[in-house]
Amino acid sequence: MESNAKLQNVNPAALSCMVFTAGRIESRATESIPLDKRRVPRQRTLKTGKIAFNGGKSVIDCTVRNRSPLGASLVVAAPIGIPDHFELWMDGDHIPCVVIWRKPTQIGVEFEARQGASA
C-alpha cells in the first residue's frame, strides 16, 4: 500500500523514467541524455510548402512542421519518389535542400548553401 501512496504523487509523464524494483520506485537520470541532437533548435511551425524538382516541373505538396536556419521537418503523403536533392518552395523562397532522413509520412531536410552565397 505504501508504494501506491507514492505513485499518487508522481507525475504520469515521469513514469516512463521510473523503474519499479522490489516494491521501490527508483528514478533514472535521463536529464543528461540529449534527446535532440540538432546543432540548432528548431521552431515549431505549420506552413504549407512545395517540394520542387526536375527544374520545377515536378511539385509535391508538403507541410513544414518545424524549421531552423539549417533545416526543417516536412510532412508528406509518402516520401517515395522524392529525390535526395530538391527545392523547398515556401513563403516565396526557393530553398535548396538535401534529405537527411525519411519516415513513412515525414522527411528531414538540411538546407544547402545557395550558389553564390558566401560561407
Which residue, chain included where needed, has cell 521510473?
18
Distance CA 58, CA 113 (A): 22
Confidence of residue 21 (pLDDT cuts 50, 70, 90): very low
- CATH 2.40.10.220 matches 43-111: yes
Angstrom CA distances, 21 to 1, 16, 26, 30, 81, stand at 15, 14, 7, 18, 49
- Domain residue ranges of the chain, discontinuous segments joined by +: 1-33, 43-111
Cβ atoms within 10 A of the Cβ of 27, count?
10
Whole-structure pTM value? 0.63
| pLDDT for res 13 | 47
Q: What is the pLDDT of residues 47-86, one digit of tens each?
A: 999 999 999 999 999 999 999 999 999 999 998 899 999 9
Distance CA 82, CA 55 (A): 14
Q: What is the pLDDT of residues 79-110, one digit of tens each?
A: 889 999 999 999 999 999 999 999 999 999 99
